[in-house]
Amino acid sequence: MPITVGHDTAKARQTLKVGDRSLAYYSIEAAEKAGLGDFSRLPAALKVVLENMLRFEDGKTVTTDDIKAFSEWADRGGKNPIEIAYRPARVLMQDFTGVPAVVDLAAMRDGIVALGGNAQQINPLNPVDLVIDHSVMIDEFGNPRAFQVNVDREYERNIERYQFLKWGQGAFNNFRVVPPGTGICHQVNLEYLGRTVWSDKDQSGEEVAYPDTLVGTDSHTTMINGLAVLGWGVGGIEAEAAMLGQPISMLIPEVVGFKLTGAMVEGTTATDLVLRVVEMLREKGVVGKFVEFYGDGLDNLPLADRATIGNMAPEYGATCGFFPIDDETLKYLELTGRDEDGIALVEAYAKANGMWRGKDYDPVYTDTLSLDMGTVVPAISGPKRPQDHIALDVAAKTFGEYVKGFREGRTHTHNADERWEGEGGQPEPEHIPGDQGHHARGYVATDDGHYQLHDGSIVIASITSCTNTSNPYVMIGAGLVARKARELGLNRKPWVKTSLAPGSQVVSDYLETAGLQEDLDAIGFNLVGYGCTTCIGNSGPLDPAISKAINDYDLIGVSVLSGNRNFEGRISPDCRANYLASPPLVVAYSLVGDMNVDIANDPLGQDKDGNDVYLKDLWPSTKEIADLVQKTVTRDAFQEKYADVFKGDDKWRAIETSEGETYDWPPESTYVQNPPYFQNMSKDPGKIADIEGARVLALLGDMVTTDHISPAGSFKESTPAGQYLVERQVPVREFNSYGSRRGNHEVMMRGTFANIRIRNEMLDGVEGGYTKGPDGEQTSIFDAAMAYQEQGTPLVVFAGEQYGAGSSRDWAAKGTALLGVRAVIAEDFERIHRSNLVGMGVMPFEFTGGDTRKSLGLTGDESVTIKGLADIKPLQEVPCQIKMGDGSTKEITLRCRIDTAIEKEYVEHGGVLHYVLRDLAKSA
């Protein structure tokens, strides 16, 4: 976006000398001298936002009062929640969220033409990079051909989407695509795209230096904060608005300081550290806040470890987890092949503008907490929430308690009791001795032999996700565990689906250079692809016999992955319990194949001579890992692997696509369809209509994630989405996943609230996307919503705490809107999903006065009326009338979570993109 010269901040514009270069920059110290306030004690993360205000101050969108508010923030102890307009430097996308975003842009081109404008008005003003990383699925594993087979299947499944993205790359300005098979967007961003400090020419032709900032259409965009680049995830609709020049409306955030001291001890990893950090910050409560890490412990924390902590900011609930610029930042930029002049600029700029973490770094924070890294122990998290931290030495015991509680509190599904009576000639299941008799067993025969599965059988062990594969210390560690296991004669259990999916090709380079890929291959961790795979639900199918045994005997299958999320129904439909672990622990768990085994203390198996082998026998020392990292992870490797990052392989280059300013929507496509958002749109917005007599579509509990609302994984033929595809002659084998079909609103509407583990409290003991229709009978949520739409009946959704936690997927809001939901009423919302709802014109409301769905005795048979919405103000409390199923009424007060004035305008327009489109049409 062109840099503007501020009206009242001209004195803040100074000159920075870097070698023989002279650049302009907006000096925070000069702004202080100009009388705009005292900013000396602001955290570095907030100084980045302040610099943005100085650079874009225009007296209208950004005023000097906005700038002065940052000084008042420090004076008020780290709190001053006024609305500001923030403009990130660039946008990052992945293909699951990027395809629908480009679909929206293409639809907006059609819309602007219909309103009398020019298609070229719809173009990104900020640089946009889209990395195709979410589409590869693990169909093949555990053999040398796995990578090529999975890539071939990826192109077969997704050719329509890739044709569309190649059209977008040619049709839109400032839009680049990183082709499949390159890496995961956040790792590519960390290792290549991110600059820490950016420079560009303004309208006068002068080069200006400023902090690298971004928003991304993926919640784990926060990984880049490890490199001192301020970035966070937003929904696709908000990112699209940012691309088109619309500032992001936000409140000046609180900043929680997290002090790290000491150093990691022998036998612990960055994964162990981040899982402890997630637990602490979730307990602290940092939703909607920045977290900044400081303290002398950072001197002992490699940047790869910082990136791991930054990556999991969504899991601890923060907007971001920021690490200031210091010597380690420069060291990493050098290692990863960044330009020497750029590295010099980073150091000079950070020191000149007060963003350098030196020995005297001591800012004001809203609140603080601290952790001695020497107290961190080996750990995992699960079975269904990232914040559920479990020390490794009690993991087996904790799992046993989980199974006991599950078995005592739940009736078996799928007629499991009938199958347990010997259906199909299977032996009657037994119970595992010593485990209170709560572990069911099932029998299975596969190509790998006969064996018995039971509650706790680990059927997926996956080294996956940018969270950990970006970190050479844990990846080298995993390779060394594999090497020692191989030497001793240990191997993965035959029922474990093993996989290795690095976040960049650099990982393969150093694993091969170190000779460790051969060791990983030997125990089944062959390369399956460069992409997110298991972490986002693309774990692929299990052996049919294993899947059948799990479902026939109602077993609790387990996955162990080095990812960042383990929500219900996310990893695999066959895995009810999912655990996050470091890559070395993923390897170790594959050797035992059983969550009931205490791998911290019990033998993992026997060596060739029959001697017991323990985890300590396989675990490499910190020095052993560090020496191998030093030897094999090189600057040359990064430069070589990223030299042709946008070029792609022969398959990508061979893709043919349409040309033209507007997209020629193929009517037969089941992947890409023109969405209905802008069709027949009027030139002017209306007022927000009252909600009268709305019926309840779903009554949901706590921690309903965006995975529950809009799942990304596979779906069955019997689902509404499956039936839609079958009707269009798509074979089940070609269904792909919800995530890959986000360019088709018809599929995604049918997949909204369709997670196999979602529980609608309107129905007793039923899992999946079901509700009551207008006739009171159980039906799919999609069918019920369509029936209500035919009657002209508005809908609402009730929910508990942390509604919309997890991924930043805009389809969780888009699908909600397209089903006809006018409002979501919850105890509280996660940040991104609340913003997405507003961006789609859906009103978020929170209970007040201690009211909850439970205290009100809601059953889903109610009707809801909320009036006075036409003149509603941000965060206003409004009366709500609930007519109960028995005819009585209850009056409650709700808080409207439209947080800012501009958000109210978005809702009036029907959404943020409608707002932008009308604005552009007027300017035409």
> What would the pLDDT profile of 705-727 be if each residue is shown by its tens digit?
999 999 988 899 999 999 999 99
Q: What is the pLDDT of residue 237?
A: 82
The reply to whether domains 90-375 and 379-637 share a CATH topology is yes
Separation CA 102–CA 90 (nearest Å): 16
- Helix %, strand %, coil % for the chain, to 5? 40, 20, 45
Bridge partners (DSSP) of residue 122 are: none
Which class in CATH covers the domain with range 691-707+759-923? alpha beta
Pair type for strands 558-561 and 458-463: parallel
pLDDT tens digits for range 404-450: 999 887 643 333 332 222 223 333 333 333 344 456 677 676 666 78
HSE-CB for 366 with a 13 A CA cutoff: 22
Q: Round the CA-based radius of gyration of the chain to a whole number and report it.
A: 27
Separation CA 817–CA 399 (nearest Å): 39
Q: What is the pLDDT of residue 712?
A: 85
Report residue 475: phi and psi, to 5°: -75, -45
Domain ranges of the chain: 10-86, 90-375, 379-637, 691-707+759-923, 711-751
Tell which residue, 734, 761, 760, has the closest CA to residue 747: 734
Angle in degrees, 0-180, between the axes of helices 472-488 and 303-311, rounded to the nearest 10:
100
With tokens 């209970």, the residue in question is 847
Q: What is the DSSP letter of 45?
A: H
Separation CA 756–CA 739 (nearest Å): 15
Give the residues of the chain that fall short of pLDDT 50: 1-7, 411-437
Q: What is the pLDDT of residue 238?
A: 84
> Cis bond leading into 383, ω under 30°?
yes
Pair type for strands 379-381 and 389-391: antiparallel
Pair type for strands 889-896 and 843-847: antiparallel
HSE-CB for 489 with a 13 A CA cutoff: 9
Separation CA 1–CA 91 (nearest Å): 11
Q: Answer whether 252's CB lies under 8 Å from 899's CB.
A: no
Which class in CATH covers the domain with range 379-637? alpha beta
> Is the Cα dihedral 30, 35, 36, 39 positive or negative?
positive
Q: What is the pLDDT of residue 438?
A: 53
**What distance lies between CA 664 and its chain's CA centroid?**
31
Separation CA 874–CA 898 (nearest Å): 5
Domain 90-375 has CATH 3.30.499.10: yes
**Long-range contacts: 339-343, Cβ < 8 Å, 24+?**
341/18, 341/19, 341/21, 342/195, 342/197
Q: Is 256 left (phi over 0), alpha (psi -120 to 50) or beta?
A: beta
